[in-house]
Amino acid sequence: MAHLTSYFRMLIIKTLLLLRYLVFLPPSEVPLPAAIWLFGSGIVGFIAMRRRTKQKA
């Protein structure tokens, strides 16, 4: 049982350190071309899904 307590203690410490790093890290900007590619591919995916559901009905 003692090993579980030390495991959870280390897990909590690592989680708090990670959260501290993430909270104080300034957000990085997404380059515009990459954002456009991601947004465009998502829209195309939604259109394809919509067409498939209309064809099945």
- pLDDT of 4 > 70? The answer is no
The amino acid that residue 4 corresponds to is: L
Q: What is the pLDDT of residue 33?
A: 78
**HSE-CB for 16 with a 13 A CA cutoff:** 6
Q: Who has greater pLDDT, 46 or 56?
A: 46
What's residue 28's pLDDT?
66
Residue 1 has pLDDT above 60, yes or no: no
User: Exposure pattern of 17-52 as b/e (b: 16+ CB <10 Å)?
Assistant: eeeeeeeeeeeeeeeeeeeeeeeeeeeeeeeeeeee
Give the model confidence (pLDDT) of 14-53 as tens digits.
888 887 776 676 666 767 777 788 888 999 989 888 888 8
